[in-house]
A and B are shown apart, each in its own frame.
Chain A
């Protein structure tokens, strides 16, 4: 069984992004970039399935400029077998990402496609579902458990107020939630070895002709901030404020 894992390169989740002075976009010049955390869960799960003998090959793919080689090297160091870079210099939005991944899936013919449930930069959370729809595959989104049994992916999904378990006939698309696993730390020797491994380049425009973003960015802004209120010194004082000042019946 072959697994394809898609990885987005995003601003490291530990970094609070700033906004450009003219509000035209977020300012990410010189900011540390990393693999999208949810995609790391996807990589980890793919490697675990290989270690369990349930998968034979894990292929990582990322879309973007040559800078994306760093997240692919990270995936190689974690243990994926091969890496593909779909080269494209400008931003691609969810639908175009899904179309590019569909084209890669047509070439690679994976049995399972794994990706994060959303990217921590645009928080759209659409690419996996869109990809599944374009391929007419079953989907298991927001997965907190994933196993392969008898040619099916058994997925436990995080839903509002609980979980749901579904069985997906392969090939299928699964999107990873944070609870799926704890991604392994990459050891330095593995990172050194990964530097020597080849990364195959594909041209985005050869895979999909129209990659124009459909959503135009008008501006970005700071969200309205909450301000600190007052400190009260006792439970009674707190209740009095809530009852009299805020008019809450307690």
Chain B
């Protein structure tokens, strides 16, 4: 038996999380196959073939996958699932949409957002917004799971897997894709950035949020993040919200600027290697989780930090 990993991409680039999922997939010690779903996606399949540890790339190329819907992707995986003991992916909105459908049709449980994989199909995952870690054991013959990418190392890109075309079922016609809106940015993606600069409500307005944090993020080559409070106040778009109801990040370096440190936010960033907090309030809870705390007026400190990086 083999392990099947669902690969995510944006039409041009294989997402970094795929490499983390592939390294998690090595746990079972079985051949790892990577499934690339797309349209005119030969280039993606070739990238997938270079991920270390992948023995075969299954390439599903069809017009309905130009904007892949969960209904179509899960139908495709349903046709492959009998050949695999494990079907898994990184815990992204794409796979969270697809894999529960696969699990339901296969009649097995799914294990979401796995932090660690142990022998005998035991998994550690976070519950209650990351406040509790639980270990569960699956009693199913087939394992279907998503893993949190930041908890597993990224596979290298020295591989040379074979690419095999797979046949694609008829499209599911009851769902129609209409449009997509993504933030275009030269900056790294928030969930895989090495450095993240996040702003909280203390920034005071959308204008100040941008004026203060953009230059700093630019200098650091960092992705921009925001707290739920800053998003709710309209300072930043929802897409960049870091926290329990947003994106989970684990960069090398995390700057929390004007962030109070609500549990909702810390749940999404507490796996960062180094956390720097800049806040005027010396009692802000963020200082309890920060490696380096600077108690200062952020309207002075952030520009001088940006300047000092020149």
Contact = CB atoms under 8 A, between A and B. Distances in A.
A208 B238 CA distance: 39
Nearest to A226: B289
Interface stretch (B42-50, B153-161, B270-278): B270-278
A11 B112 contact: no
Contact of A218 (B111, B137, B263, B292): B137
A94 interface: yes
B177 A158 contact: no
Interface in A200-250: 214-223, 226-236, 238-239, 241-242, 246, 248, 250
B175 A167 contact: yes
A246 B251 CA distance: 14
A126 B183 contact: no
A158 B67 CA distance: 15
Contact of A160 (B92, B108, B253): B92
Main secondary structure of the interface of A (DSSP, over half): mixed
B172 interface: yes
Nearest to A18: B132
Interface string A123-167: 111111111111001110110100000001010011111111111
A93 interface: yes
Given A95-B109, A126-B103, A126-B110, A230 B132 contact: no
A133 B101 contact: yes
A120 interface: yes
A27 B217 CA distance: 42
B132 A17 contact: yes
B294 A220 contact: no
Contact of B182 (A26, A161, A223): A161
Contacts of B291: 229-230
B14 interface: no
A127 to B, nearest CB: 8
A228 B100 contact: no
Interface in B93-139: 93-94, 96-105, 107-113, 122, 125-139
A46 B197 CA distance: 38
Contacts of A122: 127
B83 interface: no
A246 B129 CA distance: 29
A129 B122 CA distance: 24
A222 B128 contact: no
A16 interface: yes
Contact of A241 (B127, B134, B270, B292): B292
Contact of B112 (A120, A126, A241, A246): A126
Nearest to B252: A248
Interface string B290-310: 111111100001001100110
Contact of B70 (A127, A129, A152, A230): A129
Given A11-B128, A26-B132, A141-B70, A216 B139 contact: yes
B3 interface: no
A179 interface: yes
B174 A169 contact: yes
B71 to A, nearest CB: 6
Size bin of chain B's contact surface: 35 or more
Contacts of B74: 133
A186 interface: no
A199 interface: no
Contacts of A133: 74, 100-102, 104-105
Interface string A16-47: 11010000001000000000000000000000
Interface string B155-197: 0000000000000000011111111111100000111000000
B292 A19 contact: no
B247 interface: yes
B135 A139 contact: no
A167 B220 CA distance: 40
B93 A235 contact: no
Contacts of B129: 120, 123
Which of A154, A178, A228 has the largest number of chain B CB atoms within 10 A? A228
A87 to B, nearest CB: 22
B194 to A, nearest CB: 10
A166 B139 contact: no
A121 interface: yes
A98 interface: yes
Interface string A87-119: 000000111001000000000000000000000
What 7 A-B pairs have minimum CB-CB distances, sorted nearest first? A162-B182, A129-B100, A229-B291, A130-B104, A133-B101, A214-B109, A126-B100
Given A19-B132, A167-B176, A218-B122, 6 more contacts: A26-B127, A26-B132, A130-B104, A133-B101, A160-B191, A161-B189
6 contacts: A129-B97, A139-B97, A168-B176, A226-B266, A238-B305, A242-B292
